[in-house]
Structure 1
Amino acid sequence: MDQLRAMRTFVQIANDGSLTAAARSLNCSLPTVVRLLADLESHLGVRLLNRTTRRLSLTAEGQHYLEQASTILAAIDESEAFLRAGQIEPGGTLRVTAPVQFGQRYVAPAVTGFVRRYPAVKCQLELNDRNVDLLQEGLDVGVRIGPLPDSTLVARQVGHVRRMVVAAPAYLKHQGVPLDPWDLQQGKAVLAHRAMRSWRFQDKGKTFTVPVEGNLEFNQIAPAIEACVAGMGFGMFLSYQVGEELHSGSLVRVLADFELPVRPVNVIYPHAGLLPARTRLFVDWLCHALDGVTSMQG
């Protein structure tokens, strides 16, 4: 059996949705397509497609094999294209995801620089604060902040961040510098969202929460930071979110001795051994761009 041909045939069948359409796309006879699919299923020892008189559908094994086979074939096609063209410039579409503010501040400039360097690549950056499933949503590379669950994804840590309390110098002069997290209850808190009405700290390895109150609440980080800079109260943010303000002195970090442990920042991607050239190059590019950036203030 020509396994590569059988693999291409199966992917074409799955993409076209029928044996007849796949035969037409591959410019071969219907009996040939049927035979190649049967040979592949026999070789693998599993059924890849459920076939009825009206429709085809992937089995669970077929869905898994389709993802793997598509990646393998894409890598082969790209390698052959490079050799035929006598160059090593990557091309194709690259889909990347990252948290909104982190993506705006750090990932977007890296994406722009990558496309400037490799103009044959089309890059789509999707900023979202939910943890998306890379494989399910067809994404190539993601940035995650925080511990990673057990996964088949590959992760490369590029730094860390921590959650910290900050305030404007003028507010601290008026309110006083808190020496203990409970001192925050004597002032006002600027809330970034409803889930942050109790702030978590640790002391001597023990974690505890402090309820906070204020008369400003936002559902986005940026305006909450602006309110803190304006002297409207204490705010709790991730270090990268207020890095520029800390550097300029418009915000000051307080209660550093009570902060929770750092949270890792990882670049994640699937199929380490079968990455297309564009993905492999972008992962290296992004890791280099983010290296050390996220270790600020911590």
Structure 2
Amino acid sequence: MASTQRRGRVRAAWAVAGCAATFAATAFARRREREPFPGERLLKGASAAGGLALAALTAVPPARHRTRGAAELAARGAAAGLVQGGSHLLFDALAVALRRTAGTADPDAAEVDPGRVAARCLALGSAALTLVAARWQAREGAGTCPRCGGRPRPAAPGALAWSGYVACALSLPYPVVKLAWECGSDIGITRPEVIHAVPGGWLPVVPALAGSLLSLALVRPWGRTFPRWVPAVGGSRVPRPLVLVPSCFGLAVLAEVAPAALVAGVRYVNDPATPPVEEIGLRPWVPLTFYASWVLWGVALAGAAWEYHRTTAGCPACARS
């Protein structure tokens, strides 16, 4: 019991320190740029809320279950906000890659501020620390396992096991069409000279295909156990964070981009004041198909990630499921 409490407090201290570092790095980046940047308010608010929620979990006695439950929920919500704010790292990486691929002569094109990148990296790390600390602190008390910090509980009802396959299928329209364009195809294109002239058009395909592979890893056996042909780790259990952390990151990216893109795409197509989509080089179905598939991909990916979490959360010390 005392060992569990001590471990929980140590993890909470690290998580609070991470939240404080995220808040400070965000404020520093804001001062350097002198103007708001995407996710700035979310990073500040989530880091402050996460630190306060963890402090409450540490201070409130274990007997006050409702208060601790509310604090745990607040900590998990703060962690989700930190992941959401840090997910813009993907677009920072794409901007740098596109800048180098295009070889633009403008030194200010697609500029990425290092302070902003540092704040987003700290946000992702703080999110992981916050989730771990909340789990240990909220389950503090009698009957907890000294290894995992949890209490035995019955298995939760399963999500649809095929959600990962659906997520993989929904992730494919964008990379398949983009790769077809890179290979010279004119599918969905009205102005080939415009679309084919875009430099680095293949770069967004890489994270999209990585997301397709991740969607399958959530439901395939090799997402739980390394294949035996893998050197050194073949046949051993895949660490859950290796699959769940990228899944949460992907969900944050899709939640940030997909709904807004779909709404903007529908408004653009239906707005008589804007030029037709054909004038920018695309058939109307192309952006709408991309954005709609992203929204549905996010829903299916969330189901697959929950199913993976539910079926891999066992603890060998207490047989917790």
Q: Under TM normalisation by the shorter chain, which class is it?
A: under 0.3
Greater radius of gyration (CA):
1
TM-score by length of 2: 0.21
**1 or 2, which has the higher strand percentage?**
1
